[in-house]
Amino acid sequence: MSLTAFFARLDGVMRSAAMRLPPEYSIRFYSQARKYFLSRHERDIPKKDVKIPPEFARSLWGIRFRSPIFNAAGMYKNGEGYAWCALSGAGAYLAGTTTYSTRQGNERNNTRLPFAPYPSSHAASNWLGLPNIGHAAVAKILASIPRIYKCPIGVSAAFDPSASSESAFAGLIEGLELYSKAGVDFIELNESCPNTAGHSSALQFSLEPLLLRLDETARRFLRKRSRNLPVIVKFSTDTDPDIVPFLLDALITMGYDGVNFGNTSTNYSYCKSLVVKSEHPTFDYFTKTFGGGVSGKPLADSSLSLVRTAASALTAKPPRREFHVIRVGGVETASDVVESLENGASLTEWYAGYFENYSKYGANVYGKLYDELSKFPLPKAFNFASSSPQEA
Ligand SMILES: Cc1cc2nc3c(=O)[nH]c(=O)nc-3n(C[C@H](O)[C@H](O)[C@H](O)COP(=O)(O)O)c2cc1C
């Protein structure tokens, strides 16, 4: 077993013990450990390539995804970890989120990049604040990556939350152009980070500025694309389901290619009701001290329900072009993936659930999932434009 896999398994055992420390100390410990663990994990190249059953592949927007699941944004913020993803069997690879300017991320109470796992609840909180080295530096890294087994490369990008609106626009458009030149296969626009000023998970309160931003981005970038480069928009799992049909209509009219539900939640009272009692002191300390976004199992019902709502809106009013729904939030098992695909998602991404499985299976994290997935008939990707699943 590699050192990182060993650390991950040890972590699986130690986490509950560490969570019995006073919250302030356990959070400081895990905020440090997360950084160390991530940097080790992405160097832990599997010794044997994971074979992906060919029937798991699916073609969306003319891009061949090797399977319907890959990492959610925020895991490889600076373009690291591609070889790991490609060799361990991920369906694709997603870098970012990046912003125009380099960001150090958040720090408070002597805790840098605050993070807390809730292991017994299969959940976590983070208040990282989009730390990253910037669009230009990451575009350079992605441009130089040798492709492995044609594993597609995506990148998540966001407006610079600290910039004035005109320079934030200019910065985002420059970033998107750099990513286009770098040869990435798809872009995810992060419109829902709860950990920075100017972004929000409470979409219903900021709909107008959001639509203006998206329209401006469409005008300055989407309509000028000179090659196939799908752009999807990521919203929070807190999105009000009532506005989903309107939101989809707007995205399709503007020329976006898909939607992702979604990002972490700031609905603390609801999430807390799904966190086990022994983890309430850490949950309360984290949300009161930092706020932040909750990830993992507490998001599963909202993300699935948003996917369902999106699918029925797209079925009722089919788009003229290919448009896909991606589910993120609480995806952890093969049956979560199947349930997502059956309800209208064409792809899934995972973060908390990925590390839950990694702590048990190490480098075989995708291999193990695929063994389980092979037991199910796997639905094809939905193509709402023709209202029928399409062939991979
Ligand atoms: C530590 C951490 C960092 C994250 N960073 C980002 C990010 O940079 N951009 C983004 O769009 N989402 C980010 N997310 C949210 C995830 O991509 C995902 O939407 C969320 O965690 C829900 O999925 P999950 O339940 O599988 O964890 C982050 C999540 C975590 C836990």
Reported as a single tens digit per residue, the pLDDT across 85-128 is 999 999 999 999 999 999 999 999 989 999 999 989 999 999 99
Decide if pLDDT at 145 tops 50.
yes
C-alpha 295 to ligand 1 mean position (Å): 7
- Indicate the range of 2-6, 217-221, 295-299 predicted with least confidence: 2-6
Q: How far apart (Å, rounded) are the C-alpha atoms in residues 33 and 5?
A: 14
Reported as a single tens digit per residue, the pLDDT across 195-208 is 565 555 555 457 88
Name the amino acid, one letter, at 84: W
Reported as a single tens digit per residue, the pLDDT across 233-245 is 999 999 999 999 9
* 350 ligand 1 Cβ < 6 A: yes
Average pLDDT on 249-263 reads 96
What stretches of the chain show up as alpha helix (H) in DSSP? 3-18, 23-41, 82-88, 135-143, 165-182, 207-220, 244-254, 268-273, 280-289, 300-316, 334-342, 352-361, 365-373
Decide if pLDDT at 326 tops 90.
yes
pLDDT, position 391: 43
CATH of the domain at 40: 3.20.20.70
More confident: 264 or 41:
264
Q: How far apart (Å, rounded) are the C-alpha atoms in residues 262 and 234?
A: 6
C-alpha 255 to ligand 1 mean position (Å): 25
* Contact assessment for residue 214 and residue 172, using Cβ atoms and an 8 Å cutoff: no
More confident: 320 or 205:
320
Domain count, the chain: 1
Residue 377: Cβ within 10 Å count: 7
Pairing of strands 123-126, 293-296: antiparallel
pLDDT, position 280: 95
Average pLDDT on 62-77 reads 97
- Give first-to-last CA distance, the chain, whole Å: 35
Reported as a single tens digit per residue, the pLDDT across 279-299 is 999 999 999 999 999 999 999
More confident: 274 or 19:
274
Domain that holds residue 17: 3-389
Average pLDDT on 202-222 reads 83
pTM of the model as a whole:
0.94
Decide if pLDDT at 7 tops 80.
no
Reported as a single tens digit per residue, the pLDDT across 332-357 is 999 999 999 999 999 999 999 999 99
Decide if pLDDT at 392 tops 50.
no
SS3 label, residue 353: helix
- The percent of residues in the chain predicted with pLDDT above 70, rounded, is 90
pLDDT, position 194: 63
Residue 385 host element (H or E): none
Tell the residue number behind the tokens 């990435």, with chain if given.
184
Q: Whose CA is nearest to atom 23 of ligand 1?
A: 329
Pocket test for ligand 1, best of 237, 263, 337 (most atoms within 8 A of CB): 263
Decide if pLDDT at 300 tops 80.
yes
Q: Whose CA is nearest to atom 13 of ligand 1?
A: 74
Q: Residue 262 CA: which ligand 1 atom is closest?
A: 19
C-alpha 72 to ligand 1 mean position (Å): 6
* 297 ligand 1 Cβ < 6 A: no
pLDDT, position 11: 61
pLDDT, position 192: 76
The band of 83, judged by pLDDT with boundaries at 50, 70 and 90, is very high
